[in-house]
Amino acid sequence: MNFDAVRGRASDGWVTSTPSVIDRLRTRDSGRVPFSVEFSPPRDEAAEARLWRAVRVFERLGPSFVSMTYGAGGSTRDRTVRVTGDLAEETTLLPVAHLTAVSHSVDELRSMVGAYADRGISNILVLRGDPPGDPLGEWVKHPDGVEYAEDLVRLVRDLGDFHVGVASFPEGHYRAPDLAHDTRYLVSKLRAGAEYSITQMFFDVEQYLRLRDRVAAFDPIEGAKPIIPEIMPITSLRSVRRMVELSGSSLPPDLERRLANAAGDGPEENRAAVREIGIDMATEMCERLVAEGAPGLHFITLNFARATAEVLERLGDKIGSAVPAGSVPEVPARAVS
Ligand SMILES: Cc1cc2nc3c(=O)[nH]c(=O)nc-3n(C[C@H](O)[C@H](O)[C@H](O)COP(=O)(O)OP(=O)(O)OC[C@H]3O[C@@H](n4cnc5c(N)ncnc54)[C@H](O)[C@@H]3O)c2cc1C
């Protein structure tokens, strides 16, 4: 284990001594931008083995933190908690657990937070979640649950010494009637105690910059909190189209056209050609984001390391590693149970 978690429930809440995401973002001050990665809970043993292969590659690259998404409504809850806990205990990585409000009572949410604290996890990305089944369908609050992410931020903060992040949306959240509404409620989450936000994936850096300006104009204090851009190195047109559709965001028409041309008309898309555009585009976006002062770069990996590693390699010494030089860990074999 790379850090000592002081576990157990103190009289006034859970107490941990793990570093926070904000601590880890401080390497930005040294002129290099930290990066981080997003994993998803594996559905079966083969997927878990694949995740661990990616984990071992990233351990050598030194992300400032790794986040683990949470299946809508808790469909993979036990596996998610177990794997995220294993990341905390068996690797050098700093895990951030996503926690979603949808379909859960307050008691269940409290017990999830306790389960994470038991495994030494103190960084939580608090989300509302989307309705299971149809993510764009009507959002129905659990009768004993919470309505908005902002309420869950308060709940988690009240439970103890947790470091909380939230979601932000460069294009505006698809349920928000306009960008002013979107900005107002993002700021509410930050005022409720969130220390930073991670954006939804986007493909136009201007949208990220406008989000940052909007939040800073609405509230200069909360607007100074880090907004970490989320980058998706595209390796498949079919899968990015699906992700964009499910998240209520969009692919710029120009990019979609280029990707569609590269994919071709065959029964199988030309993945190599799509990937080339995707990696080029992700690298260009990261270069611009670094130049514009982004506090970090958070990569969606889908539990594969190669595409992100390639982008990082191209970015070279613009990127900071959380692994001190000369201390690259060995890659131990890990049995997947
Ligand atoms: C980085 C990132 C990671 C994600 N990880 C996951 C994951 O692991 N699992 C998962 O299921 N989903 C995940 N999501 C998706 C997320 O759960 C959905 O986008 C969800 O629809 C919105 O979540 P939120 O936390 O932003 O909600 P909220 O902040 O609660 O906002 C939801 C909507 O309500 C509005 N709103 C907020 N507060 C109020 C208020 N007080 N009054 C009126 N309107 C209000 C907002 O403007 C917005 O339109 C992630 C999204 C991002 C960007």
Domain tally for the chain?
1
pLDDT score for 28: 76
The answer to the question of residue 267 being in a domain is no
Establish if 247 belongs to a structural domain. Answer: no
Which one-letter amino acid corresponds to residue 159?
L
Whether residue 65 lies inside any domain: the answer is yes
More confident residue, 297 or 27: 297
User: Is the residue at 274 inside a domain?
Assistant: no
Question: Does residue 172 belong to any structural domain of this protein?
Answer: yes
List b or e across 85-116, with b for residues whose CB sees 16 or more CB atoms inside 10 angstroms.
Answer: bbbbeebbbbbbbbbbbbbbeeebbeebbebb
31 or 269: which carries more pLDDT confidence? 269
Residue 126 CA: which ligand 1 atom is closest?
25
In this structure, what token pair is assigned to residue 239?
Answer: 């899968």
Average pLDDT, the chain: 91
Name 96's Cβ contacts closer than 8 Å, sequence gap at least 6. 21, 36, 65, 66, 67, 68, 121, 123, 124, 125, 165
Q: Is 334 contained in some domain?
A: no
Nearest to 53 by CA among 312, 257, 331: 331
Q: Where does the pLDDT of residue 15 fall: very low under 50, low under 70, confident under 90, or very high at 90 and above? A: low
Task: Classify residue 149: in a domain, yes or no.
Answer: yes
**Ligand 1 pocket residues where CB is under 6 Å:** 69-70, 72, 98, 100, 127-130, 148-150, 167, 173, 175-176, 181-182, 185, 189, 198-200, 230
| In the predicted structure, residue 183 carries a pLDDT above the cut 70 | yes
Q: Known catalytic residue: 269?
A: no
Q: What percent of the chain has pLDDT over 70?
A: 90
> Which pLDDT value is given to residue 325?
56
138 CA to centre of ligand 1 in angstroms: 13
Tens-digit pLDDT profile for residues 201-213: 999 999 999 999 9
Tell me the residue range of the domain where 157 lies: 9-236+280-317
Q: How many helices (H) and strands (E) does the chain have?
A: 11, 12
**Residue 165 in domain:** yes
Mean pLDDT computed over 178-188:
98
Nearest CA to ligand 1 atom 13: 129
Q: What is the CATH number of the domain that holds 108?
A: 3.20.20.220
Statement: residue 1 has pLDDT above 50: no
pTM for this entry: 0.94
Convert the pLDDT of each residue in 302-316 to its tens digit. Answer: 999 999 999 999 999
For the CA of 127, the closest atom of ligand 1 is 25
- 16 pLDDT more than 80: no
Confidence of residue 85 (pLDDT cuts 50, 70, 90): very high
Residue bearing the CA closest to ligand 1, atom 10: 129
Q: What is the pLDDT of residue 109?
A: 97
Q: Where would I find the beta strands (DSSP E) of 220-300?
A: 227-228, 230-231, 297-300
| pLDDT surpassing 60 at residue 194 | yes
The whole-number pLDDT of residue 147 equals 97
